[in-house]
Each structure stands twice: as C-alpha cells, then as structure tokens.
Amino acid sequence: MQHQKLGILGGGQLGLLLTQAAMRFPVSVSVYDPDPSCSAAGFTDRFVRGDFSDFEKILAFGLDQDAVIFETEQVCLDAILELEKKGVRVYSSPQTLSWISDKALQKEKLVSVGIPTADFVRISGSEVRSYEGPFPIVQKWRRGGYDGSGVCIHTEKKSIQSAKSVDSIFESCVDIAMEVSVIVARSRDGDLVIYDPVEMVFDARANLVDYLIAPARLETAVTQELYVLTKTMAEKLDFLGLYAIEFFIDQKGHIYVNEISPRPHNSGHHTISTHITSQYEQQIRLALGLPLGSVDRLSEAVMVNLLSEEAQGQTDYKGLASALSIPNVQYTFYGKKEVRPFRKMGHALILEKTLEKALERKEDIRTKLIITAQ
C-alpha cells in the first residue's frame, strides 16, 4: 500500500477515536467539522471547517482524499454518494445511509427482509397531535434525532398535545428486559467480523447510555441468535463498512432490532482495549482497502460514559486526581472545553477480573469524578 489520504467527516468523540486509530497507519488524516474546537481538530493540521449539510464543501474536501469515513448520519448524503461515484472510497456505504438516515425507511427495510422490529406506523408532522391512541406509544422523528433527542414515549393523550409536529414513526412500546448492541464489519468481498454483544444500561435522567457491560450477560443461545440476525442483516441489506445494531430483548425473551448506525458507535469504545482490533481500526482498514482484523477478545470490561452535570460553562474536572487513583481503569477525555447539561465528556473503561468488582469501581468513579462548570 502507498501512503494514503484519509478524510474524516465529523470530529466529535468518534472522529477523535477514528483519528487516533488512523494515525497508526501510513496515512495523512484530515478532519471536517463545523466546530474548529471539536475533539479531533487538535490531532491534525489539516482541519476544514464546514457544515455537514454543505454539498460543495464536503465534495471539495472529499475529492482531495483517497478515502472518506463519516462519524455521523447527519452528513450530506448527496455529497458522499457523489464522492463514491467519483472514485473516492467512502465508508460505511452511502447507499445504506440513504435508508438508515430515515427511521421509516430503515424499519421498512428491516421488515422487507424478515428482521423482527417493533410494530410501527408512519405519522406525518401535521397528523402527530391528532393521534388518538393506543398508549403508551413511542414517537421517533424520521430524521435528525440524535442521542435520544428525537425519541419520546407518550403515555397519554395529554403528552401528544405538546409533541413535536415533525414527520415521525409511532412505534409500539417494548417491555424491555435488556438493550444490547452488536457491532459488525463487512468488506467488499463479503468477509464479516462480529463483536460480542454488549449490554447497554440507560440513564433515564439524561436519556443516554449510562454504562455498558461487555460482553452482555446472555445465555449462549441468545448470543447465537443475535449473531445469526446480525449476519443475516449484513448480507441481505448489503452492509459495507462498520455498523452497530441496537436490539431490544423483551421480558419474554423476544428479540427486536431497535436501530442501525452505519458507523463506529459509543457501544464499541471498549474494543480499543479489549479486542485485538478495535471498531475504529476496522473502519480504517476497510477505507484503506486492507483486510479486516481479528475480533478475538482479550478481556471483559465495563465502560462508563462520563457525562457532565446539569451545568453550562467552562469545563472543570472535579476530583480527577482521586478518580485516577482507582486501579484498573483507563480514562479517555474528549477535550470538550465547555459543558452542557449531560454532555458526553469522556469515558472510563474498567478492566477487572470480575464483573462485580468492575461494577463496584463504577460507583467509585461516579462518586469521585464530577464534571461540571467552573
């Protein structure tokens, strides 16, 4: 392989970790983001400022690269389709982004290939507030939602009255026993690697993942079923690149696909330390035309998202020295200079011999480290 130029669309936490993984390869990395102080910007002197909706700017940025990777579904689809047409390798496949970025199209695709997903109907923006029931019902904006912001569980008619009037799907409520994520990477030749399922535990207050347990505490038969569903989806839906699939397992043990992300995912941060090849490296290998790496697991882990308090202003890491004295924990901070309520500021990876011990350490981190405004 010759030295290559790699462009990363998005310099947030995922862009930062992609950049770090890319720097171990013979590449020059450029980062594109609307915010010049984004997490990844400090890692490259080739930073381009631009909006994710700017067709011309993304095209110009991408045409200067051998390969382009994106970290967000909000990126201009037409621009990356055009880049691919012009011979730039774009990962994950823009064709898959075209239906993944619309929750109605995504669910219809899943149904068309026989993948179980919660029942749903399309509701246009003007129809949202006249929805009559049944309740509870989950409203999901078709486009533009991120980190729970486009998802609302309506429990009664009254809450529908103040619902956001945007084109949505209304999905039946699943009685969730466990939320699980599975990350899969697939190459142009059809080679496929699947990481162990990860258990995601939510923080209801922040509507974000609180912590993850990797691998998920599941019976072997359930893990197998998740692998089969993942492989079927990857093959029937023409996955090309790295994808995260979020599943619900309900109280009766039924499995439903919640949603797909065509990019590295928060639920795969741990793979940097627990696997021979991280999720980030897989995407870089694919973009550079290199073979996928092994997903052999080196250890178990608990990953804790480090969210800021409900505060706004310049970031202050209170108790950091004390948190750093907790053994067997690796911290990654995303370098965000300002906090907003419940912003993802970093993560802690707890590498302990037993899960019990790791969960104890998690509580210790929560007590010692407070990320707030100065």
Binding site for ligand ADP (CB under 6 A): 118, 138, 140, 145, 147-148, 150-151, 171, 173-174, 176, 179, 202, 246, 258-259
The rounded Cα 270 to chain-centroid distance in angstroms is: 13
Closest CB to ligand ADP among residues 85, 205 = 205
Distance CA 330, CA 350 (A): 7
Q: Cβ of residue 204: shortest distance to ligand ADP, in angstroms? A: 8
Closest CB to ligand ADP among residues 66, 246 = 246
Query: Which single residue brings its beta carbon nearest to ligand ADP?
Result: 174
Closest CB to ligand ADP among residues 29, 184 = 184
Closest CB to ligand ADP among residues 113, 177 = 177
Between CA 101 and CA 109, with CA 106 as vertex, the angle to 5 degrees is 145
Helix (H) or strand (E) holding 321: helix 320-324
In one-letter notation, the amino acid at residue 209 is: V
Q: Cβ of residue 210: shortest distance to ligand ADP, in angstroms? A: 11
Closest CB to ligand ADP among residues 153, 276 = 153
Distance CA 125, CA 207 (A): 23
Q: Cβ of residue 173: shortest distance to ligand ADP, in angstroms? A: 4
Q: Cβ of residue 145: shortest distance to ligand ADP, in angstroms? A: 5
Q: Cβ of residue 293: shortest distance to ligand ADP, in angstroms? A: 27
Closest CB to ligand ADP among residues 263, 275 = 263
Distance CA 161, CA 372 (A): 34
Q: Cβ of residue 141: shortest distance to ligand ADP, in angstroms? A: 9
Q: Which single residue is written with the structure tokens 């950091």? A: 320
Helix (H) or strand (E) holding 212: strand 208-214
Closest CB to ligand ADP among residues 97, 287 = 97
Distance CA 57, CA 215 (A): 40
Closest CB to ligand ADP among residues 200, 348 = 200
- DSSP-derived letter for residue 127 is G
Distance CA 143, CA 31 (A): 24
Q: Cβ of residue 268: shortest distance to ligand ADP, in angstroms? A: 14
Structure tokens at 53: 């909706």
Strands 198-203 and 208-214 come out as antiparallel
Q: Which residues of 95-125 are buried (b: 16+ CB within 10 A; e: fewer)?
A: bbbebbbbbbbbbebbeeeebebbebeebee
* ω into 341 cis (within 30 of 0): no
Closest CB to ligand ADP among residues 208, 295 = 208
Q: Cβ of residue 23: shortest distance to ligand ADP, in angstroms? A: 29
Contacts 24+ apart (CB under 8 A), 22-27: 22/280, 22/284, 24/281, 25/284, 25/288, 26/1, 26/2, 27/3, 27/284, 27/288
Q: Cβ of residue 152: shortest distance to ligand ADP, in angstroms? A: 9
